[in-house]
Amino acid sequence: MSVLLHPNKSLIHLEHYYIEKPRRYGGISFTFINNLQELEKYKADGFVPEDDIPRLQGEAQAKREKFEVDPSKVIRRIQTDWTPLNWREMNNIYSACMRQTTTVDGQVNIDLDVIRFRDQKLKSCLKGWNVKDDSNQDVPVTTQNIDILAPEVAQRLLEDFEKVTEVPEEDLKN
């Protein structure tokens, strides 16, 4: 395979399962489900994947039974689409995130602003999602909408993307 890839990048599709829990003093916390075993454990504890609700409602209606789901027992799913950075994009982000500081004795240091780097990477690579607003309308992926994500959600989305696109540290040792 050639190291020169096609300029039209294919999207990386990721799914993230989570549960929303109301916080004691307001707001919502998000618990992400890490693997199939955790998903099955939540189901065994009475949680219902949001994708199963219409089917379960239909089955209950066919039996003339009432079906209700406790909103705190819904397993939600966010689907995301990403593009990995190419060399030019990566260098542009690194360049934009370099910070020059001068010590008291006049020594100049150049450091990477890691927080800004992660922010720029998320905003550059995240291309789509299935997020809806309260009116069930699609919410577009924009820098403004990314900025208002809960920090734990933004961090988890980026971490999951990095897991599938970056070389694991143990592979770099050889």
> Residue 73 and residue 47: Cα distance in Å, rounded?
5
> Residue 13 and residue 7: Cα distance in Å, rounded?
18
Helix or strand run (H / E) with residue 22: strand 12-22
* pLDDT for res 6: 53
Model pLDDT for residues 94-133, shown as the tens digit of each residue: 999 999 888 899 898 999 999 999 999 999 999 999 999 9
Q: Structure pTM?
A: 0.82
For the chain, how many helices (H) and strands (E)? 7, 7
Q: If 0-12 CB within 10 Å is exposed, 13-18 middle and 19+ buried, where does residue 17 land?
A: buried
In the chain, the amino acid numbered 21 is K
For the chain, give the longest Cα–Cα distance. 80
**CA neighbor of 17 nearest in space, from 166, 121, 160:** 160
* pLDDT for res 7: 57
The torsion angles phi and psi of 132, rounded to 5 degrees, stand at -120, 155
* Cα-Cα-Cα-Cα dihedral sign, residues 150, 21, 38, 127: negative
> Residue 72 and residue 47: Cα distance in Å, rounded?
8
Calculate helix-pair angle for 87-96, 114-125, nearest 10 degrees.
Answer: 140
Which residues of the chain are modeled with pLDDT < 70? 1-9, 168-174
How many Å separate Cα 88 from the centre of its chain? 24
